Amino acid sequence: MKAGGPKVMSEAVRILASEVASQINKLVDLPFVNEEEEEVFFQMVVLKVFDAVMSIVTKNGKAPKRSDVGDEPIPSRPVN
């Protein structure tokens, strides 16, 4: 087992997700939603993203190769 174990890691991830969600919440305003609900929403989204990234990174115990990810650059804004 790694130092700290799963409980410490999940607590660290939760704290990081909370900080990232707070930063997003400062930048994004959802109409008709109060600030507390926005914060909870963004925390859930960030935790889901972290979970998806961790499942990719930890797949087979190693990070994916560039060829597994694809060559398309991530757009900086939505493309219509």
Supply the pTM of this predicted model. 0.62
Residue 24 has a pLDDT of: 94
pLDDT tens track for 8-35: 558 888 899 899 999 999 999 999 999 9
Instruction: Using CB atoms within 10 Å of the CB of residue 41, give its burial: 0 to 12 exposed, 13 to 18 middle, 19+ buried.
Output: middle
Cα 52 from Cα 49, distance rounded (Å): 5
Residue 74 has pLDDT above 70, yes or no: no
Tokens coding 47: 């935790």
Average pLDDT, the chain: 78
% of the chain beyond a pLDDT of 70: 62
